[in-house]
Each structure stands twice: as structure tokens, then as C-alpha cells.
Chain A
Amino acid sequence: MAAEERRDASPDDEQLLRRAAAGEERAFALLLRRHLPAVLALAERLLGSRAEAEDVAQETFLRLWRKAPSWRADGPPLAAWLHRVALSQCHRAWRRLGRQTEAPTAEPPDPAPLPPEQAQRAEEARRLRAALAELPLRQRAALALFYDQQLGVREIAESLGIGVHAAESLLARARRRLARRLSEEER
């Protein structure tokens, strides 16, 4: 078992995808463990709802399972492909939710009083969620990939399927707009 774990710890995404394409569920489970946290965090940041984010993550990985047999190694890296699919699923979810300013399914505030630190964190999260909801989805995605996932501009460009200069410009616009929204809310 330990030897099997060691063997499974090293394979790269391409190898795991080939094994998954042959129907090996264990290889797919390793891919899930590797990429699910990032996909889920991206979707949750974009939609502001854990439940919606879980649905998006599930659909994204089901698509990967179906795509595995025809996966092309010369295409975008797996992480970028997953981000693109997740983003398109978020677009659909956003349209379905009716583009509300504040995500409708955001967790309701806990009626019990929180310790000051947690209360401040919850308030900051609420402010950020509200300000992000004012931004177009692509700008939100650029910010989430940059700040949450610490990706460089080149990787953000790959994940959004745009050029590097376009990604730089998108990120700069998103940051300016978010900073403005947050400072407006503070006033």
C-alpha cells in the first residue's frame, strides 16, 4: 500500500489523465485531490456561494472525466483547462442566478455573536463579496487567480484563454475598479 502511494505521488497530470482515460478511477481521484481545492476556491470567490461552487466544481470534473480519452498534450495545461471550464460554468450559474448584486445564496449571517476577530473577518468577507459582485466575471476571475491562487500574469492569460497583454490590462482594470468600489463602500 505504501509503495503504491509512493508510485502515485509522482505521476504528472498527463500520466494520470491517460490512466483515468483507461477507466482507472484511482488516477482520477489523485487528479481531484490535486486540482479540486483551486477550482472550488475560484468558483466560490466568483459566485460567493459554497453550494453553487460545489456544483460548478462537480460539473467541471465530470467534464474532465469525459474529456480524458481525447485529451491533447499540446493543449493548455490541465490547471488552465480546468479554470476555463470552471469559469464558463460560473458564467452559466451567474446567468441562472440572475446576476444579483449580492450572491443570493451567500451563507446567512450567524445570529450568535462572533468573537471580534471572526466578526471583523466576516465583515471584510462580506464587503469584498459585495464589491466583487459589482465587477464583470472575467475581472473577478483575474483577481481570484492572482490573489487567491498566486498565479502570474502568463498563467492567468492561459487560464482565461487570452493574450498576456490582455491579461495584464484586465488585471489592472479589475484592481482599480475593486479598490474604487471598496473605498466607496468605506465612505
Chain B
Amino acid sequence: MKARFDRSVENPGDQADPLARLFAATRPEPQRLHALEARILAALPRPEERPFFGWAPLGLAFAFSLILGIGLGFLMPTVGTPDPVELALRGAIAAEFELPQP
């Protein structure tokens, strides 16, 4: 028995070895390898990708800033400009009480 084992250590395919025959008869068959290959390739970690949400958010942001800019452009020149009615009132009050004219 030992001699047979020793011989098949040199040759794993020795058909005189009952274990070699048994392993050969029950060898797992390579089925569905393509599916497994695809599964492994799909699971490979890839460099982190930044999501691109498209041009719509960029367009909206541009439009919003344009409207804001135009609105501020209209409003800003009036800030700090004295109201003519208020100015006339102040002038009248100053004349009445002999205060320096505004």
C-alpha cells in the first residue's frame, strides 16, 4: 500500500491510486464561470466618482444671481438718497428755530 502511495506522490494522475480515481471522478465542474467573472469585475473598487447633476442646477444658480444682481443694481442708487419731502420739512423746521440748514 505504501509503495502505491509513494508512486502516486510523483504522479497525481496515477490511475492505480484509488484516491486519484475518486478525485478525478468527483472533480468540481467549472460551471457558470462567466457569471462569476462578471460578478467579480463588477465588485472591483473604482476611484471615487463625483456625481454630475447636469447643467440645470448651474443654469438656475446663474439665473438667480443675475436677478439678484439686477435687483440690487436698481435698489442700491436710492439707498442713502434724502427724501425731498423730508428735506423740505427739515428746512422749514430749521428756518423756524434758526438752526443750521440741513
Which A residues contact B (CB, under 8 angstroms)? 23, 25, 28-29, 32-33, 36-37, 40-41, 44-45, 50, 53-54, 57-58, 61-62, 65-66, 121, 124-125, 128, 143, 146-148, 150-151, 153, 168, 171-172, 175-176, 178-179, 182
Chain A's closest residue to B28 (CB) is A44
Q: Do the beta carbons of A28 and B44 come within 8 Å of each other? A: yes
Chain A contacts for B37, CB-based, 8 A: 29, 32-33, 36
Chain B contacts for A179, CB-based, 8 A: 18-19
Q: Do the beta carbons of A128 and B40 come within 8 Å of each other? A: no
Chain A contacts for B13, CB-based, 8 A: 150
CB-CB nearest 8 A-B residue pairs: A147-B23, A125-B26, A44-B28, A37-B30, A146-B12, A150-B12, A61-B40, A41-B28
Q: List 20 A-B contacts (CB under 8 A).
A: A25-B41, A28-B44, A29-B37, A36-B36, A37-B33, A40-B28, A40-B30, A41-B28, A58-B40, A121-B26, A124-B25, A143-B23, A146-B9, A148-B23, A148-B27, A178-B19, A179-B18, A179-B19, A182-B19, A182-B22
Q: Do the beta carbons of B33 and A62 come within 8 Å of each other? A: no
Q: Do the beta carbons of A147 and B19 come within 8 Å of each other? A: yes
State whether the Cβ of B87 lies closer than 8 Å to any Cβ in chain A: no
Chain A's closest residue to B30 (CB) is A37
With the chains together, A53 CA to B36 CA distance in Å?
11
With the chains together, A41 CA to B30 CA distance in Å?
8
Chain B contacts for A44, CB-based, 8 A: 28
With the chains together, A36 CA to B38 CA distance in Å?
12
Q: Do the beta carbons of B9 and A168 come within 8 Å of each other? A: yes
Chain B contacts for A29, CB-based, 8 A: 37, 41
What is the predominant secondary structure among interface residues of chain B facing chain A?
Answer: helix
Chain B's closest residue to A145 (CB) is B12
Q: Do the beta carbons of A176 and B5 come within 8 Å of each other? A: yes
How does the 8 Å CB contact mask read for B3-31 relative to A, with 1 for contact and 0 for none? 00100010011000011101111111010
Chain A contacts for B43, CB-based, 8 A: 58, 62
Known contacts A147-B24, A150-B12, A176-B5; is A40 also within 8 Å of B41 by CB? Answer: no
Q: Do the beta carbons of A147 and B12 come within 8 Å of each other? A: yes
Chain A's closest residue to B34 (CB) is A33
Chain B contacts for A176, CB-based, 8 A: 5
Chain A contacts for B33, CB-based, 8 A: 36-37, 40
